[in-house]
Chain A
Amino acid sequence: MTVRQFKVWRGDSAGGQLVNYDVDVNEGEVVLDVIHRLQATQEPDLACRWNCKAGKCGSCSMEIDGMPRLACMTRMSTFEENASVTITPLRTFPVIRDLVTDVTFNYVKARETPAFAPPKDVAPGDYRMQQVDVDRSQEFRKCIECFLCQNTCHVVRDHEENKTAFSGPRFFIRAAELDMHPLDARSDRKEYAQKEQGLGYCNITKCCTEVCPEHIKITDNAIIPMKERVVDRRYDPLVRLGRKILRRDQLEQEAVAVTTLHQAHPTPQPDGAAPINWHRELAPPMGADVDDKGHLPLNELLSDRVGANSPFGDDVEFPVDPTKLNYYHPEQKH
């Protein structure tokens, strides 16, 4: 066991500073272990988000010696023994306290991204796909939503004003995943990625790929293929001419119109099953009760209820109305 030096950023939205600590480090430990020991021995109120400690939940994203990383996957053995390790919260998102940031930006962008559009003539349960067709999409399903790519992308990291126009690498892989999905019915995902997600802002400097703890080839396998697909549609005069001559553009416009119709009305089901509205507008999440500083009431004296707030939002009552869900088991008959 050795004593190592750490600088940890302490503070909240009102300000803060790097504070020096000396903490014991055992062989084989990771940065998250050190933070836990710091909480246990010196700073019980040090705020830090964590969950699985196995690099699969994406909670403990922070910046260690200036590089966005997962604290649970950063081994202490990778640092020089006599150098101090600097630990700061993610810079791109508003800070809540200490190492915890508010990553709402990503959830807003996630909600804006169109969901999987089911094929019109195939019933749920009858979807059949070949492995070779879904290989590419499956790479992107490895995403654990740690938002390190979102944090490191200079488009929003260095330019707060781009946050409205730019969705970030995590949602480009989502767009690519669905655009490459063999059964996705939408054909306008390229246009959406370019117009609404701000794909053109990306200058492919590959930092998202560098920091991805799941080693997803974000730039090579998602962003560049999406850019090329946009070129097919928008910048390729030969393809444009071909589409005009063959009148494909008009066919696609009709297809989009059909999709819109499909979105607006629940699909009637045979045999008296409840109608399925795949594109039911999701209710915005209800915020938990917070105080003036935006903090949760952490003791029962301040809270208006016994026990913790519902993780599903306090406005959701159980059991939920099955007709308002957008999932039905194919054999369900009510």
Chain B
Amino acid sequence: MTTTATRPIGARPRAAIDAKTLRTDKWWIAPLLTVIGLTAWVAYATVRVFMHKYFWVEDYHYLTPFYSPCVTDRCADAGAAEFGAILPNWWIIPDAAFSLPFLLLFRLTCYYYRKAYYRSFWMSPPACAVPDGHKTYSGETRFPLIFQNLHRYAFYAAALISVVNTWDAIKAMHSPSGFGLGLGNIILWINVLCLWAYTLSCHSCRHIVGGRLKHFSQHPLRYRFWTFVSKLNTRHMGLAWTTLATLAITDFYVMAVSAGWLNDLRFIG
């Protein structure tokens, strides 16, 4: 680049096109589906978290992920307080008060969910080449959105909570006569695997395991981790939605068995 056809003379007008967007495809479908999907899930999760019952199946030790780790007196009464009962029973305190806020923060600051809700709820922008609905825009440079940079810490917490979920799945291999295996176990394990895949496919994780390096050749092991996480990372969006589905299905199944609406299909025990 050495010369320009015209000399820059301050701010000059853009093409005067009246239509806000000339896109003819159905660009509004994706944000609409996102709004419907996320709203429905948040509504279901909120109801379940504050229901304070049907979270534990005594016979098979099934614990729903929405109540894990269960830390209120209510959990101790039910026999589900694997890590001790620390908090009192008060309806406003979720029974998994130590994990849910971090999981919420993890998903809120997730690079995929940010795209999803900025586009759908905040319309900034609703779709590519469609004007955003705001007069001014400062992005993530100021309070409160500058806190999106905390994603990494939420990831650390989410990884710890995934360990707890794995422990729950192991403990659930149980029946009144000892070892047990039922449809609930398979659902719990699928959920745990999907949660691990989603957590490890996180962009922050990709950076931490190796993305921050300048010389991959000097760190072959971390390069292999990075390659693995990069492969998962390309599916981050898919995993984000899959885990919402597996969480809701797992929770619903445990609720249904706990409330007696369904009998768990048992293979062993």
Contacts and interface: CB of A to CB of B under 8 A. Distances in A.
Interface of A: 9, 11, 13, 15-16, 18, 63, 65-68, 83, 86, 88-89, 91-96, 101-102, 104, 107-108, 110, 130, 132-133, 135, 152, 154-155, 157-162, 179-182, 198, 200-207, 210-211, 220, 224-225, 227-232, 234-236, 285-288, 290, 294-296, 309-314, 316
A154 B1 contact: no
B177 interface: no
A296 to B, nearest CB: 6
Contact of B215 (A160, A182, A203): A182
Give me the 7 closest cross-chain CB pairs, A-B, nearest first: A66-B22, A66-B23, A201-B139, A287-B7, A228-B207, A200-B141, A207-B128
Interface string B124-136: 1101111110101
A133 B1 CA distance: 29
Interface in B1-55: 1-9, 11-17, 19, 21-25
A83 B24 contact: yes
Given A200-B146, A225-B206, A290-B6, 13 more contacts: A13-B13, A66-B130, A67-B129, A95-B15, A102-B6, A130-B216, A152-B128, A210-B128, A224-B203, A228-B212, A234-B149, A287-B3, A311-B2
A227 B149 contact: yes
B16 A206 contact: no
Where chain B touches its partner, the secondary structure class is loop
Given A154-B131, A201-B138, A102 B8 contact: yes
Contact of B23 (A67, A231, A288): A67
A89 B15 contact: yes
Contacts of A11: 15-16
Of A68, A110, A132, chain B has the most CB atoms within 10 Å of the CB of A132
A232 B115 CA distance: 22
A5 B112 CA distance: 39
Where chain A touches its partner, the secondary structure class is mixed
A117 B9 CA distance: 32
A102 B4 CA distance: 9
Contacts of A162: 137
Contacts of B17: 9, 18, 88, 91
Nearest to A224: B203
Interface string B106-150: 000001001100110000110111111010111111000110011
10 contacts: A9-B15, A86-B22, A95-B14, A152-B128, A158-B134, A201-B137, A203-B114, A207-B128, A220-B233, A285-B3
B3 A93 contact: no
Contact of B14 (A65, A92, A312): A92
A11 B3 CA distance: 24
Contact of B13 (A9, A94, A287): A94
A66 B24 contact: yes
A65 to B, nearest CB: 5
B124 A286 contact: no
Given A66-B21, A91-B14, A313 B139 contact: no
A159 B11 CA distance: 13
Interface string B84-111: 0000000000000000000000000001
Interface of B: 1-9, 11-17, 19, 21-25, 111, 114-115, 118-119, 124-125, 127-132, 134, 136-141, 145-146, 149-152, 203-204, 206-207, 211-212, 214-217, 223, 233-234
Contacts of A158: 125, 131-132, 134, 137
Given A94-B12, A201-B141, A220 B150 contact: no
A210 B25 CA distance: 15
A310 B141 contact: no
A228 B204 contact: yes
Contacts of A66: 19, 21-24, 129-130
Contacts of B206: 225
Contact of A225 (B124, B137, B207): B207
B15 A101 contact: yes
A288 B6 CA distance: 7
Contact of A159 (B3, B136, B204): B136
Contacts of A234: 149
A231 B15 contact: no
A227 to B, nearest CB: 7
A88 B21 contact: no
Contact of A294 (B7, B15, B16): B7
Given A88-B22, A107-B4, A287-B7, A235 B15 contact: no
B214 A206 contact: no
A31 B223 CA distance: 43
A179 B8 CA distance: 31
A309 B9 CA distance: 20
A236 B11 contact: no
Contacts of A236: 152
A90 B214 CA distance: 36
B3 A110 contact: no
A184 B140 CA distance: 28
A133 B217 contact: yes
A206 B129 contact: no
Given A202-B139, A228-B211, A296-B5, A130 B114 contact: no
Contact of A154 (B3, B11, B132, B149): B132
Given A203-B139, A205-B118, A132 B217 contact: yes
Nearest to B138: A201
Contact of A63 (B11, B125, B129): B129
Nearest to A313: B3
